[in-house]
Amino acid sequence: METRKRKFPVDAKDYKLYEEVGEGVSASVYRALCIPLNEIVAIKVLDLERCNNDLDGIRREVQTMSLIDHPNLMRAYCSFTTGHNLWVVMPYMSGGSCLHIMKSSFPEGFEERVIATMLREVLKALVYLHAHGHIHRDVKAGNILVDFNGSIKLADFGVSACMFDSGDRQRSRNTFVGTPCWMAPEVMQQLHGYDFKADIWSFGITALELAHGHAPFSKHPPMKVLLMTLQNAPPGLDYERDKKFTKSFRDLVATCLVKDPKKRPSSEKLLKHPFFKHAKNADFLQRSILNGLYPLGDRYRMLKAKEADLLVENKELYEDKEQLSQREYIRGISDWNFNVDDLKNQAALIDENDEILDADNHSNARSHDTTDEIVEECFDICDDDVATVDNLQQRIHTSLKASDQETKRDDIRPLGRMQSSQKMNNNASGSVLSNNVLSHKKLVSNDERDHHQPKFRIDRSYSGPVYLQKNNMNTSLSVENVSGAVVQQKGRFKVTEADLSSKVPVVGPTSSVQAASLLPPLQSILQHNTAQREEILRLMEHVETGNSDFSQIAPTPRERELHSQVIQLQQSMGCLVEQLQLQKMINVELEKKLSDLVKKNSIKE
């Protein structure tokens, strides 16, 4: 509190940057010294050139961070630009994130009292945020920070939204934002928007993450995560496997992870849950999880090196997985549209054993929704209350172009905080290193940070929160839309509605007329595309089975149907040609008669 009364300077030369202690999709975080105040702080450095179209989001984050005033929420002391970077100065949390701590010392998750203590603090932060009209939208272990004394702060307002906003920001609540594993079903469905109850779902997922060391479904590619979240019964604590946890913990998780947001409790009500009777104080946390830990910078470097080593050691395995996941991802992206059949196939890929054995997903009973219903709910563009023209265009063009673009990418699994090396660890809920940890980063100042540069350079992967954004220039995946504007994916895997800044019209009855007029040509393109795709798959299958004689391929029913249509058309064309010739002859006859009559008349005259 004392430090908050002091005025933090807004000039880079008043700070001395030390080692890097964390990295997210959009920023690097450094330990630093505020020279005039002789105070250790954390500075989040955002490269504005790299997120030039996400300025709105950044502005929102900084604004939220400077306005909030709660001991369990990360507050910004000040922020300023230096060169093309934005520096956000904030309290330094020397324990790092809960994800950091788990990765370093508790790979199987924390004990229940520790979890209760952490979660109660997070919940207090959510009560405050919700009461002030904010939805955090990215609650997860990676965003729960621990200080040297065991105190807890919820951080990262990069994707938060204000429920009282009107206009563009209000619209953001109809966008698809979050990190797939932690994302509430209603956020994925994009049907009726969502509210603060989305944070309660993520809170429940975070509880499981802290209990197991990873989030449910974290080993699966994002499309599978989406389908599993929508299709399967909610994940929970298992009676058998999670015997060590109390009934009240199981009940807390079950209370949060209810698919119908209306049936989830508010954060305030949840705070009264008996589970929190197990919660202790900050001292307890400090003793239980921070004792014996290396300084944050060292831990961060060690984990980084470990992941990089794993990456090298398992290159072969990694490559296999990479190829597999590329295929999965491409299929996911290209079917982010209307290809219902293929989505169903993809859903079928979630093999039953997976589900039965999946340690994360203890409740295997499927909910009553069929894949058809889910896919329609999620992706059906005919729905009156969804599609905007832009949305349709984006989806169609994502479908047509994404595969091409995606094959050029290094890392294609957009799971939360997941990066290349992490894919070797199926049970990881995310790398402690954010997606670009192993990538080359432009340093901002202070030479002393150079020796902390990573040895391995890997392109930024697609992890972290998910939302679709237009006109974003920092991307590895660009998709042209019909009007020629560029729809892009960057950093956080972005896949749905339009960017706030792009002023996409709000979906409503008026735009549905426009959308409806686009449907027939779009559907025809889609059909055409699907037919071509089927044909290619069939040919590929044929070639794979070693048969190169294409004349031997038996025609499909569709081909036979088309063939008979062609014959019919040829026949009717023949008839028409004959009729035309007949008419021509009659015409010639008539002309002849006419000219005879004209001649006779002129003779008489």
Known catalytic residues are 138
- Number of H-type helices and E-type strands within the chain: 19, 13
Task: Compute the distance between CA of residue 517 and CA of residue 140 in angstroms, rounded to an integer.
Answer: 42
- DSSP assignment letter at 13: G
Q: Are 106 and 99 in contact (CB under 8 A)?
A: no
> CB of residue 3 vs ligand ATP: minimum separation in angstroms?
13
The 3-state DSSP composition of the chain as helix, strand, coil percent (nearest 5) reads: 50, 10, 40
- Look-up: residue for tokens 């064309």? 573
Contact between 211 and 111 under an 8 Å Cβ cutoff? The reply is no
Q: Annotation-wise, does 44 bind a ligand?
A: yes
- Both tokens of residue 314? 């398992």
Interface region with ligand ATP, contact rule CB under 6 A, candidates 85-93, 317-325, 522-530, 590-598: 85-93
* The two structure tokens encoding residue 530: 């699907």
Specify whether the CB–CB gap between 62 and 87 falls below 8 A. Answer: no
Q: How far is CA 323 from the centre of its chain?
A: 20
What is the rounded distance in angstroms from the CA atom of residue 57 to the CA atom of residue 52? 10
Q: Decide whether 51 or 375 has the Cβ nearer to ligand ATP.
A: 51
- Given CA atoms 351, 355, 360, 366 in this order, what sign does their dihedral have? positive
Rg (CA), the chain: 30
Binding mask 43-82 for ligand ATP (x = CB under 6 A): -x--------------------------------------
Contact 458, 411 (CB under 8 A): yes
Structure tokens at 192: 């009726």
Nearest approach in angstroms of CB 42 to ligand ATP is: 3
- How many residues line the site for ligand ATP (CB under 6 A)? 25
Residue selected from 53, 97, 172, 339 as contacting ligand ATP according to rule CB under 6 A: 97
If we measure between CA atoms, which residue out of 494, 504, 503 comes closest to residue 469? 494
Pattern of binders to ligand ATP over 128-167, x per CB under 6 A? --------------xx-x---------xx-x---------
What is the smallest separation between the CB atom of 446 and ligand ATP, expressed in angstroms? 17
Stretch 9-38 residues interacting with ligand ATP (CB under 6 A): 21-27, 29
Task: State which residue, 20 or 242, has the beta carbon closest to ligand ATP.
Answer: 20
Residues 160 and 175: beta-carbon distance below 8 Å: no
For residue 47, the minimal CB distance to ligand ATP (Å) is: 11
Task: Report DSSP letters for 542-588, one per residue.
Answer: HHHTT---GGGSPPPHHHHHHHHHHHHHHHHHHHHHHHHHHHHHHHH
Nearer to ligand ATP, 437 or 477 (CB): 437
| Residue count (the chain) | 605
Which of 131, 129, 260, 253 minimizes the C-alpha distance to 191? 260
By CB under 6 A, the residues from 459 to 518 that bind ligand ATP are 464
Stretch that binds ligand ATP, among 92-100, 202-210, 422-430, 531-539 (CB under 6 A): 92-100
Give the x/- contact pattern for ligand ATP in 326-365, rule: CB under 6 A: ----------------------------------------
Residues in 411-450 that interact with ligand ATP by CB under 6 A: 434
Core vs surface per residue 190-209: b (16+ CB within 10 A) or e: beebbbbbbbbbbbbbbbbb
Q: Using the minimum distance from each CB to ligand ATP, give the nearer residue, 339 or 435.
A: 435
Bridge partners for 45 per DSSP: 28, 87
Output the smallest distance, CB 211 to ligand ATP, in A.
20
Give the nearest distance from C-beta 165 to ligand ATP in angstroms.
20
- Alpha-carbon distances of 431 from 61, 492, 513, 546, rounded to whole Å: 23, 14, 45, 42
- Between 29 and 374, name the residue whose CB sits nearer to ligand ATP: 29
Distant-in-sequence, close-in-space partners of 143: CB < 8 Å, separation ≥ 6: 97, 154, 155, 156
Q: Which of 45, 65, 93, 415 is in the footprint of ligand ATP by CB under 6 A?
A: 93
Least CB distance to ligand ATP at residue 431 (A): 10
Shortest distance in whole angstroms from residue 280 CB to ligand ATP: 22
Longest dimension (CA), the chain: 128
- State which residue, 90 or 378, has the beta carbon closest to ligand ATP: 90
- CB closer to ligand ATP, 88 vs 227: 88
Binding to ligand ATP in span 98-117, by CB under 6 A = 100
Q: Assess contact for 184 and 261: CB atoms under 8 A.
A: yes
In the numeric block, which tokens belong to residue 571? Answer: 């026949």
In angstroms, give the least distance from the CB of 231 to ligand ATP.
27
DSSP character for 271? T
Residues at the site binding ligand ATP, with contacts judged by CB under 6 A: 21-27, 29, 42, 44, 90-93, 96-97, 100, 142-143, 145, 155-156, 158, 434, 464
Instruction: Output the known binding site.
Output: 44
